Each structure stands twice: as structure tokens, then as C-alpha cells.
Amino acid sequence: MTEQQRLNAIAAPLLAWYDEHKRTLPWRGTRDPYRVWVSEIMLQQTRVAAVLPYYQRWMDELPTVEALAAVDEERLMKLWQGLGYYSRARNLQKAAKIIAAAGAFPESYEALLGLPGVGEYTAGAVASIAFDQPVPAVDGNVLRVAARVAELREDIMDAKARRRIRGLMDGAVPPDRPGAYNQALMDLGATVCLPNG
């Protein structure tokens, strides 16, 4: 079996596992790109348990991209206080102003990449979860899972290895459930396929 075949072969069993074992999180079960995007930005370098109360408060006060675009900076920083990396909150608001001015959330992976603070992982997560685009969302957990499944021996922290895995993942995302597939990989990497496991 090739590396690509090994990765492709896990889609069906992985989705079956996810359907039975997925974590219940407040940003799951929605395809609202705003909610998916905010959760993904909050989860950058922050544990899920720490994000949960912040996400709820944020959504109670800023339930739409327009509300985020309009909130004053002092209140924005107060809502973010304790999550750290404050540039994430500032970039969220910069992007919200762009989205609000455009009148719609960008739907393509490429357009999402053009937003302040949105990199390949976040663009892939939002595009696949909110818009059903078959693009990967490759974070550290997904790199680790993919490397183990494909039986790659390279250091996943090496930029060349990361690009290679990203390329393999491009061909592995099932077109019928891309968002669920990406979330399944995230859950598997966060709960089962742990570092040094």
C-alpha cells in the first residue's frame, strides 16, 4: 500500500468512529462560518477546556460577524482577556470588518486565506466545516495522525515533511463529509493518537 492509499483507507472507519465518539462542543453541530471561525481562532494554542467559557460569553455578546465588527476595542479586549495572544482578537475584528463590508462570509479556501489572522489550518477548517469543501485542516494533531497512518518516518516539525503530509491530506479528504473528516482527525489526535503514544 502506498502512503496515499493508507491515508485514504482510514476515511470510512474514522468517520464511523467519529459518529460514535465525537466530543460534544458548542461550536459543533453548526455550519455557521462565523461560529466555526471564532472557535478555531480561540483554539489556536489554547486547550478546549479553557476556550469553552470564553466562547460562550463571546457568542452571547457578539453573536454575529456584524456585532464583532462594531464592538469597541476596549470591550473586545475585555471579552478576550485571559485567552492570551491578543493579536488573535484584533485580527478577528479586522477580518470581521472586511466580511461585514463585503456583505457575506468568504466561502473558498483561497478567499479565507486572505483574511487577517487566517492561515492554512483555519482556512481549511472553516472551508470544510462551514462550506463542505474537500480541503484538509492540518494542525499538529493531524500531522501526527497522518504521519503514523501513512507510516512516514520524517520529523513532522520539518517544513518539507509538513508540506508533504499536507499534499497527501489534500488527496485524502472525502468529498461527501470533509468537515466531519477533519474534525474526526482532530478528535483522534487530541484524545487517542497522542504524542509519544
Residue 186 near residue 194 (C-beta atoms within 8 A): no
The answer to whether 110 is a known catalytic residue is no
Please write the tens of the pLDDT for every residue from 107-153.
Answer: 999 999 999 999 999 999 999 999 999 999 999 889 999 999 999 98
Instruction: Using the Cα atoms of residue 69, residue 73, residue 74 and residue 79 in order, give the sign of their dihedral.
Output: positive
Q: Which of 37, 45, 190, 48 is nearest to 122 (CA)?
A: 37
Please write the tens of the pLDDT for every residue from 7-54.
Answer: 999 999 999 999 999 999 999 989 999 999 999 999 998 999 999 999
* Catalytic residue (one of 20, 40, 61, 154): 40
